[in-house]
Homo-oligomer: A and B are copies of this chain.
Amino acid sequence: MSAQSYFADWIAVDWGNSCQRAWAIGEDGQIRAEVQRASTSRDILPGAWEAALRGLIGDWLGIGQTPVLACGMIGGRGAIFEVPYRSVPANPADLRPVPVTGLSDQRLALSIMPGLCQCSPADVMRGEETQLLGFFSQQPDFDGVVCLPGTHTKWVQISAAEVVSFQTAMTGEMFALLAAQSCLSSWVTTDEIDLAAFDDSVADLLADPRRLSQRLFAIRADALLNGVAAPVGRGRLSGALIGAELAATRSYWLGQAVAVIGGHALSALYLRALAGQGMTAQYFAGDTLTLAGLAQIRAKLVGKAI
């Protein structure tokens, strides 16, 4: 029994803004365990990141060192170790993880993927570059635009397997703040979305993006005056924000081949909104693509075929 043949041959970590996932991978390349946790990166105090990582994957560590390959906010400013961005244009397959030294837990042989940056307009991504790498392993010839809905939705222009440019919209974060903590909260408290209200708001915002500020408060006013049901309010809020985002990213998606990569419920809204504009986008479930990207990097590191 070798020093590494305990539970995991290596561990993959996807550290998102609002959700963290990890997979323990056996020597046979199979997933032996996985874990998912919802927490906000900005709630982690400086200096507490290594403990947060151990909280996620500590159960899988043996007595020797375990290789851990991670992407996302864990490599950001103020987290475990700031990995410099790589500028676009860039091919995600050319990215190399950076080994992290100086951790207090010697069992962690941690490497972190660099994110991508764009100088003008200024933009950054961490984690999506690895998800795109996984996507390319399934769609090597994809040329067009990838939309990755989430806390910070990314629109990425892809040509010849390179990320040419990208644009971030804070739509998910704005929705979460407005739905939970604004004067609109009482009127959108439901998990249901009225799709007619969603469609109407998307169309209205695409027709005139200036209407965002008025449409938001009108959710409250209309509910107070006319007793609008919560799913309608939530549909309007979601539709107004996604409509404003589509208006802002029109130069990305208009007339392009579009792939939407993400969770099912949120991606469905983006697909629906795009369909309303006559755009048929292809959907790819996002959850396994990051792992696929990390596995590809890992295979390259140890010289294995995938």
Q: Could you tell me which A residues sit within 8 Å of B by CB distance?
A: 17, 42, 77-78, 85, 117-119, 121-124, 151-152, 167-171, 173-174, 177-178, 181-183, 185-186, 209-214, 216-218, 220-222, 224-226, 244-245, 247-250
Kindly report how many copies of this chain are found in the complex they form together: 2
* Contact A177:B182 (CB < 8 A) given known A123-B221, A244-B213: yes
Residues of B within 8 A of A124 (CB): 220-221, 224-225
- In the complex, A42 Cα to B185 Cα: how many Å? 10
14 extra A-B contacts, CB within 8 A, seeds A174-B174, A212-B248: A42-B185, A119-B225, A121-B214, A123-B218, A151-B183, A168-B217, A168-B218, A169-B213, A169-B214, A169-B217, A170-B182, A177-B181, A213-B245, A213-B249
Of the residues B77, B212, B218, contact of A212 by C-beta under 8 Å: B212
Residues of B within 8 A of A248 (CB): 210-214
- In the complex, A152 Cα to B211 Cα: how many Å? 15
- In the complex, A35 Cα to B65 Cα: how many Å? 63
For chain A, what secondary structure do more than half of its interface residues adopt (helix, strand, loop), or is it mixed? helix
- In the complex, A186 Cα to B41 Cα: how many Å? 13
* Contact A170:B211 (CB < 8 A) given known A177-B181, A178-B177, A181-B181: no
Residues of B within 8 A of A249 (CB): 213
Nearest Cβ in chain B — how far from A165, in angstroms? 12
Which one of A169, A183, A245 has the highest number of Cβ atoms from chain B below 10 Å of its Cβ? A183
Which one of A85, A167, A169, A210 has the highest number of Cβ atoms from chain B below 10 Å of its Cβ? A210
* Contact A183:B17 (CB < 8 A) given known A177-B178, A178-B177: yes
